[in-house]
A and B are shown apart, each in its own frame.
Chain A
């Protein structure tokens, strides 16, 4: 199976270690993973800020770059939701605006074969124990688009529970948004920061070493808040925990 890593522009630019972790993890599980160099951005920030027409060329570009792969895997719940939930909607809107169904037809092939990482592991590869080792206490924050748009359910938690050495602690108010919300973090920074501080407080109350999530955008906000509040806890992407082994532990 030819699998493409859709890393996302945020991870590519700011969190390359997450990308390296996905490559290491998938390779260990026998997947032939490729990183198409033409990939850029799915257009989520444009779309959600009200610039749907600016997002359309980016969606078409995504389709050009990833169209020929059998599966597209992304370590981001919100970018995964952009492709799976919002690309079809963009196509429908274009059709409703009388701009023919070209966009809908162009985007249709990539929609069903785009998977968020934990979905790909559990649903496609059929594994929950990926042979990982991470001797730390962890609390898990389900990010909103992974939780509600993609319906990731208990997949991430099942994967974490199978990690050797890992102790999973319940996060109070886990389903509540961390307050990132893309441009919301800047446009409504007071509310965003208050939500972030509450999330960090809840996370700290677990006494865990790390807060894990499956989306680095939310972790950038939560981690930035943790650092500012001098919380003795670190944000960590689930891919990095799952890639960590006894031979090559995550440092």
Chain B
């Protein structure tokens, strides 16, 4: 994965600042609650939602199980339709392939369709290093790029910004990148959209190379599918002479018919729309219509390793709808940047530590960035049991064990920094296996209760900083029961 996020602090530290940033909290609360309510309404009006969800899950699981076969089929279909297929094992290889392809055209500018995969590999930075300027054309990605910012949401990358901040960024930065913002720009949505339209139109008409990702790839026809709401993506996909698409290998569906499920569940889950506004599909190249050269870069970058894990592989079903972000109480308060990845929120918390491994501080902390409330699983249109995978990854962090990295089986050591917790968990397990020890501890706590402090030392201070401690009762329940009901203390 990209070097953009290397050196990110652990999640709790990154979240600390966000929690106390009142503007950010307000922006996120407003945005997530609005989209959350709209999604709930859009989903509720579909009578067979549960069946669609199950079908989506099964199509994805089937495809992943036979990914080797479908990938080869896709390569054959795309090639037969006039496209050129490249295989990239990791981010560096993908960046090298794309950079070389752009250089071969002699161009120094590219327009980009909003794409998670190219952000994951840090493509813009790699292109810039070779003197190639990449222009983001999705409205929110434009805001992020102009603001020298990072995306904080899968679908709404500038969700952390309000209109006033966006106006400020446009007025200040657009002239650096091309056509300046109109004089006297206000923060009304229509004026902001018009400023972006004028700025981007210049780029669309000039660009000879477009770069995209894809939401789906149909194996039997080699058709690529991009789902977007603005039409800016369609401009990039149709106007340039050369189109390069970088797509994760898990984005395959076997046939066109499988799309019927996802083209229903994706718009309703993501933007709460009944039907997606701009669905662009293309199959290789067509004379006199659209780009004359099409390259497909198939990206692994940790996906095969993830597929090897029986519990964790379900994360590869993800269709990037971001419903889990919008409903997550932790995301709402910590914001997307705290997740240290282009994939924030609950799905990011299970995807990043699998794609990148759990070696870094941020990746080892992500599985804990959840209260396990289960709201994410409830809304997921492909039924990814995110809490199950989070707990599984916690186990990987504290216990270590066998995982697949770069195609090889390796045995991870337990993460450092969990030694005291591990000892406490073992001690608790011992006490709970010996009811007599538990009872002795309870009685001791009850008898000493007059001397209990009002705040705790060590890790417990994190509790008592904002919450009063419960008062320990004069006797535990079991003593009352024994006194009143004469329960036999078998100590079993």
- B156 contacts partner chain A, Cβ-Cβ < 8 Å: no
Q: Is the CB of B438 within 8 A of A148?
A: no
Flag the segment in A41-49, A101-109, A119-127, A132-140 that touches B: A41-49
Q: What CA separation (Å) do A191 and B28 show in the bound complex?
A: 14
A134-164 interface code vs B (CB 8 A; 1 in, 0 out) = 0000000000110011000000000000000
Q: Is the CB of B466 within 8 A of A188?
A: no
Closest to B16 in A: A190
Q: Is the CB of B395 within 8 A of A51?
A: yes
Give the Cβ gap from A146 to chain B, nearest Cβ, in Å: 11
Q: Is the CB of A40 within 8 A of B438?
A: yes
B449-492 interface code vs A (CB 8 A; 1 in, 0 out) = 00000000001101101111110110111101110010111111
Q: What CA separation (Å) do A220 and B460 show in the bound complex?
A: 14
Q: Is the CB of A144 within 8 A of B476?
A: no
Give the Cβ gap from B446 to chain A, nearest Cβ, in Å: 9
A46-83 interface code vs B (CB 8 A; 1 in, 0 out) = 11111111110110010011000000000000000000
Give the total of A residues in contact with B, Cβ under 8 Å: 73
Among candidates A13, A38, A175, A225, residue contacting B445 with C-beta atoms closer than 8 Å:
A13
Among candidates B20, B330, B373, B395, residue contacting A188 with C-beta atoms closer than 8 Å:
B330
Q: What CA separation (Å) do A195 and B375 show in the bound complex?
A: 14
Closest to A55 in B: B429
Among candidates A46, A55, A193, residue contacting B467 with C-beta atoms closer than 8 Å:
A193
Q: Is the CB of B333 within 8 A of A54?
A: no
Q: Is the CB of A17 within 8 A of B460?
A: no
Q: What CA separation (Å) do A179 and B11 show in the bound complex?
A: 16
Q: Is the CB of B462 within 8 A of A177?
A: no
Residues of A within 8 A of B19 (CB): 190-191, 193-194
B411-426 interface code vs A (CB 8 A; 1 in, 0 out) = 0000000000110011
Residues of A within 8 A of B431 (CB): 40
B25-60 interface code vs A (CB 8 A; 1 in, 0 out) = 100000000000000000000000000000000000
Could you give 6 example pairs across A and B, Cβ below 8 Å?
A40-B438, A50-B395, A144-B372, A145-B374, A176-B375, A228-B466
Flag the segment in A4-12, A203-211, A236-244 that touches B: A4-12
A168-202 interface code vs B (CB 8 A; 1 in, 0 out) = 00000001110111111111111111111100000
Residues of B within 8 A of A11 (CB): 477
Q: What CA separation (Å) do A82 and B378 show in the bound complex?
A: 18
Q: What CA separation (Å) do A17 and B472 show in the bound complex?
A: 12
Q: What CA separation (Å) do A49 and B395 show in the bound complex?
A: 7
Give the Cβ gap from B410 to chain A, nearest Cβ, in Å: 18
Among candidates B394, B421, B460, B478, residue contacting A12 with C-beta atoms closer than 8 Å:
B478
Give the Cβ gap from B218 to chain A, nearest Cβ, in Å: 33
Give the Cβ gap from B414 to chain A, nearest Cβ, in Å: 10
Residues of B within 8 A of A187 (CB): 12, 368, 462
B309-320 interface code vs A (CB 8 A; 1 in, 0 out) = 011000000000
Q: A9-B432, A38-B435, A48-B391 are in contact. Are A14 and B374 (CB under 8 A)?
A: no
Give the Cβ gap from A151 to chain B, nearest Cβ, in Å: 11
Residues of B within 8 A of A16 (CB): 473, 475-477, 480
Q: Is the CB of A186 within 8 A of B368?
A: no
Q: Is the CB of A186 within 8 A of B371?
A: no
Q: Is the CB of A48 within 8 A of B372?
A: yes
Q: What CA separation (Å) do A36 and B490 show in the bound complex?
A: 9
Q: Is the CB of A181 within 8 A of B467?
A: no
- B329 contacts partner chain A, Cβ-Cβ < 8 Å: yes
Among candidates A20, A58, A195, residue contacting B433 with C-beta atoms closer than 8 Å:
A58
Closest to B492 in A: A38
The number of inter-chain residue pairs (CB within 8 angstroms) is: 208
Q: What CA separation (Å) do A21 and B387 show in the bound complex?
A: 32
- A89 contacts partner chain B, Cβ-Cβ < 8 Å: yes
Q: What CA separation (Å) do A64 and B25 show in the bound complex?
A: 48
- B186 contacts partner chain A, Cβ-Cβ < 8 Å: no
Q: Is the CB of B425 within 8 A of A188?
A: no
Q: Restricting to B366-385, which residues have a CB under 8 Å from any CB of A?
A: 367-375, 377-378
Among candidates B391, B433, B442, B491, residue contacting A50 with C-beta atoms closer than 8 Å:
B391
Q: Is the CB of A35 within 8 A of B466?
A: no
List the 4 closest A-B pairs by CB distance, nearest first.
Answer: A181-B371, A50-B394, A224-B467, A38-B492
Q: What CA separation (Å) do A19 and B99 show in the bound complex?
A: 67
Residues of B within 8 A of A118 (CB): none
Q: What CA separation (Å) do A49 and B388 show in the bound complex?
A: 12
Give the Cβ gap from A120 to chain B, nearest Cβ, in Å: 18
Q: What CA separation (Å) do A13 and B435 show in the bound complex?
A: 12
Apart from A35-B477, A35-B481, A183-B368: 20 A-B pairs, beta carbons within 8 A: A12-B477, A15-B470, A20-B480, A35-B485, A37-B489, A37-B490, A48-B391, A51-B399, A58-B432, A58-B433, A144-B372, A145-B374, A148-B373, A184-B368, A185-B463, A190-B12, A191-B330, A192-B371, A225-B466, A225-B467
- A221 contacts partner chain B, Cβ-Cβ < 8 Å: yes
Q: What CA separation (Å) do A31 and B399 show in the bound complex?
A: 44
- A39 contacts partner chain B, Cβ-Cβ < 8 Å: yes
Q: Is the CB of B15 within 8 A of A191?
A: yes
Among candidates B393, B476, B485, B487, residue contacting A13 with C-beta atoms closer than 8 Å:
B476
Give the Cβ gap from A3 to chain B, nearest Cβ, in Å: 14
